[in-house]
Amino acid sequence: MHVPGVWSLWKGLLLTLLLSNSVNAIDIDVTDEDAASTSVYAMMTYYKGNETGHIPGAFASKWWEGAALFLALLHYWHFTGDTTYNEQLSVGMEWQAGDCDYMPSNYSSYLGNDDQMFWGLAAMTAAELQFADSTVGEGYSWLALAQGVFNTQVARWDTTKCGGGMRWQIWSWESGYTMKNAISNGGLFQLSARLYRYTGSETYGKWARKIWDWSVSSPLLSNSTWNVADSTEMSDDCTTQGNTQWSYNYGTYLMGATYMYNYTNGTEQATWKTAVSGLLNQTLDKFAPNSNGGILEEIVCEPSEVCNNNEILFKGLVSGWLSFTALLAPFTFDTILPKLQTSAQAAAKSCTGHDNNTCGVRWYKSVYDGWIGMEEQISATNIFVANLINFETSAPVTSTTGGNSTSNPTAGTNDTDSSTNTLSTITTADKAGAGIVAVLFVFGWVGLMGWTVMGG
């Protein structure tokens, strides 16, 4: 049950105590909201979109990370009832909406399908969690924005090679344009499945099944071993795979399968239950193995300390998807919750940096590892919030169970710059790596200490 007024009153007192004293770690009790409050506060010190001279929702060289930030805020608001950041959340998500499809003109000429897709998932989450539709700018509803992303993406479904599939990149001048990858296809599968459950429209159900069937027929997804490969190349008609193992590739297919399981029935539901079980077992076995105490880990980059900003976010996204899986497919709850709890307790012990609860990357170390940045704080927020499924157990709503976001099935279809028009080439660092250049400072009435600066 949400009690925003009460929570907001004592939250300030709590943060004063936490931030005005040197502490060794976030003192997490998986039965309360303290850790999430602390980490989200630190996370938002990186967000400048509400300040003069800055653009709401924009991160110039890593635009998609705005969606990751807002996803974390949506989950935080939903599970705690704290409305502190809701205005920034609403304004930022609407400001980047483009022509109701998350293809804003400032960024659209270098985006990948996965970049746009994450914003669509953020909008879908807002609709499912009954976050009030925005009145900023054009006032697009969250559901319409998710539909706009879906419409522009399915228009890019590519049958020139490999029998179908989504390319990684949208534009021919981008490196990766000839690659079809798991996160773009799995992400659109997830979005389609969620639109299907929310609206009941078979249009979305047919696309969810189509993307799933293509993925299984390709080297990206095995429905026997439940391996999820990262990519496949059009140059050899998608006969080989780049099998680098990333947690979010598994997580996005798992999330889509979970929604299909939740909404379907009979034989089809049984099929999706098998998919949920197979993907969940592989996800946890690979990325939260018993050998490291069942703590979530990005296995490719964490041991060698080479994770870039994108990769630091992956297990945080998976944390949120696991929490939704536990709610939508209750047979998974008892398997998922212990992993979330163990990971959160370890993450809290990593949040010991600079005497202000700065969180690290390698949670399994259970100590601060020296990393610092917005991405670290987003992932920590996600794992802390995910644990609150014990107390806010309502599943995401649909249009018939309380959802009231306005539908627009043709959203995004009038945006002529969204798929095929050639734009001028620009150079970006959108996929760039490990460093983060930011000056951190704590704002607001607490204002008692500075944050350490690290350049990347």
| pLDDT tens per residue across span 391-410 | 878 889 999 999 999 999 99
Least confident of 141-150, 284-293, 436-445: 436-445
* Predicted local confidence at residue 456, as pLDDT: 35
For the chain, what percent of residues have pLDDT higher than 90? 74
**Position 31 in a domain:** yes
User: Band of the pLDDT at 354, cuts 50, 70, 90?
Assistant: confident
| pLDDT tens per residue across span 143-190 | 999 999 999 999 999 999 999 999 999 999 999 999 999 999 999 999
Q: Determine the average pLDDT of the residues in 333-361.
A: 91
CA-nearest of 108, 161, 154 to 426 is 108
The answer to whether 163 and 214 have CB atoms below 8 angstroms apart is yes
Tokens of 232: 């496949």
The domain that contains 135 carries what CATH number?
A: 1.50.10.20
Q: Is the pLDDT of residue 437 over 50?
A: no
Q: Determine the average pLDDT of the residues in 412-431.
A: 48
* Predicted local confidence at residue 107, as pLDDT: 86
Longest alpha-carbon distance in the chain: 60
Cα–Cα distance between 54 and 222 in angstroms, integer?
44
* Predicted local confidence at residue 1, as pLDDT: 38
| pLDDT tens per residue across span 52-67 | 889 999 887 899 999 9
* Predicted local confidence at residue 29, as pLDDT: 66
**Position 109 in a domain:** yes
The domain in which residue 174 lies consists of 4-390
User: Band of the pLDDT at 416, cuts 50, 70, 90?
Assistant: low
**Position 184 in a domain:** yes
**Position 221 in a domain:** yes
Q: For residue 45, how many other CB atoms are within 10 A of its CB?
A: 18
**Position 363 in a domain:** yes
State phi, psi for 241 to the nearest 5 degrees: -135, 150
Q: Is the pLDDT of residue 78 over 70?
A: yes
For the chain, what percent of residues have pLDDT higher than 70? 84
Q: Is the pLDDT of residue 92 over 90?
A: yes
| pLDDT tens per residue across span 227-249 | 999 999 999 999 999 999 999 99
**Position 441 in a domain:** no
| pLDDT tens per residue across span 198-214 | 999 999 999 999 999 99
Gyration radius of the chain's alpha carbons: 21
* Predicted local confidence at residue 444, as pLDDT: 34
**Position 188 in a domain:** yes
Cα–Cα distance between 436 and 412 in angstroms, integer?
33
Least confident of 5-9, 96-100, 295-299, 328-332: 5-9
CA-nearest of 108, 255, 194 to 405 is 194
Q: Determine the average pLDDT of the residues in 318-330.
A: 98
Q: Determine the average pLDDT of the residues in 29-45.
A: 83
Q: Determine the average pLDDT of the residues in 426-453.
A: 30
**Position 395 in a domain:** no
Q: Is the pLDDT of residue 84 over 70?
A: yes
Q: Is the pLDDT of residue 380 over 60?
A: yes
Tokens of 78: 């939903």
The number of distinct structural domains making up the chain is 1
* Predicted local confidence at residue 430, as pLDDT: 32
